[in-house]
């Protein structure tokens, strides 16, 4: 075995990439979240996506044009960020996460801005670092695994919730996360006669075969199902606070039957790539170019 490889570090990096991709799903879905109450519940996650969109617009342009105060503010507007939010929240968070460096001069103008998108880590890993810098709540951290699990595989609702709990959250936090993922529209559900409960799945990944696949996964022994889902043991989130799950009795959803009912893009670039767009307006975060590769 290679002594230079640390399995724990590998797990943390893998978990960071998974959560980063979940943030990507949230950002790509942003325009479809219209309920102000729902948007308020995922405020930190939406802001993380907009901040990464802004950072990606800056990528590579410092070697082509001078990033003046006016140009930086213009890029921020294209990412949906106002001046107050930019200077008071986004710029400090990006700096703390190691994505940029900058100064505010005596006239309260942005100067000497340099970006490091994809330099010290992959974009998805930097996304997780930015989320951490913005101070997520436990509800945010539980919501992301629900989005991730829904994209990995369609599962019976009880098994979906169980997977969230295995990542270090309480039963109530798992249920709240799934409720929010449904309200946002990143997870949908459909009744399954074979499983006698709802099947939860991501509409962006799974189509008409989700019920048969959920039945197949639901009938597997637990250890085999968890091995396929990549969750055979709890994995701490890269850089994010590790949620601690208190010892308690088994979740109640394991002993109850859920009644069947009808349910009411950024790309990851190589860390060594510094290819820039032509012209003064960079491509939006999530729009693939010939030099980029989709995360999924």
Average pLDDT for 267-293: 38
- Does the pLDDT at position 8 exceed 70? no
Domains of the chain in start order, with CATH, are 7-133 (no CATH), 138-255 (1.10.10)
Q: Which of 55, 54, 60 is nearest to 81 (CA)?
A: 54
- Does the pLDDT at position 264 exceed 90? no
pLDDT at 291: 30
Given CA atoms 93, 97, 100, 105 in this order, what sign does their dihedral have? positive
For residues 207 and 24, the model is more confident at 24
pLDDT at 215: 59
114, containing H or E segment: strand 110-115
Given CA atoms 190, 192, 198, 199 in this order, what sign does their dihedral have? negative
Helix (H/G/I), strand (E/B), else coil: 60: coil
pLDDT at 277: 36
Average pLDDT for 64-83: 93
Q: Which of 247, 251, 285 is nearest to 269 (CA)?
A: 285
For residues 75 and 295, the model is more confident at 75
Backbone angles phi, psi at 188, to 5 degrees: -120, 170
- Does the pLDDT at position 218 exceed 90? no
Q: How wide is the angle at C-alpha 61 spanned by C-alphas 114 and 98, nearest 5°? A: 30
Report pTM: 0.72
């Amino acid at each position: 075995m290679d002594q230079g490889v640390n399995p724990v570090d590998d797990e943390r990096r893998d978990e960071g990439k998974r959560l980063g991709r979940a943030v990507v799903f949230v950002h790509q879905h942003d325009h479809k979240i219209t309920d102000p109450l729902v948007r308020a519940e995922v405020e930190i996650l939406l802001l993380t996506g907009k901040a990464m969109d802004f950072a990606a617009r800056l990528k590579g342009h410092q070697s082509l044009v001078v990033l003046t105060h006016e140009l930086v503010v213009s890029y921020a507007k294209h990412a949906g960020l106002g001046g107050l939010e930019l200077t008071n929240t986004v710029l400090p968070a990006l700096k703390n996460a190691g994505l940029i460096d900058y100064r505010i001069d005596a006239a309260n103008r942005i100067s000497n801005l340099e970006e490091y998108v994809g330099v010290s880590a992959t974009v998805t890993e930097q996304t997780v670092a930015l989320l951490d810098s913005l101070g997520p709540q436990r509800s945010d951290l539980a919501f992301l695994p629900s989005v991730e699990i829904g994209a990995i595989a369609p599962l019976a609702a009880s098994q979906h919730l169980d997977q969230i709990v295995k990542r270090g959250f309480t039963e109530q936090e798992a249920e709240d996360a799934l409720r929010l993922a449904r309200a946002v529209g990143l997870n949908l559900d459909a009744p399954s006669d074979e499983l006698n409960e709802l099947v939860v799945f991501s509409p962006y990944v799974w189509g008409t075969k989700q019920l048969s696949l959920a039945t197949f996964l639901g009938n597997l022994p637990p250890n085999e199902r968890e091995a396929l889902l990549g969750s055979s043991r709890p994995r701490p989130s890269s850089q994010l606070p590790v949620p601690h799950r208190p010892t308690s009795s088994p979740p109640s959803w394991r002993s109850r039957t859920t009644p069947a009912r009808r349910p009411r893009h950024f790309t990851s670039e190589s860390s060594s790539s510094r290819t820039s767009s032509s012209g003064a307006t960079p491509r939006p975060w999530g729009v693939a170019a010939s030099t980029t590769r989709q995360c999924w």
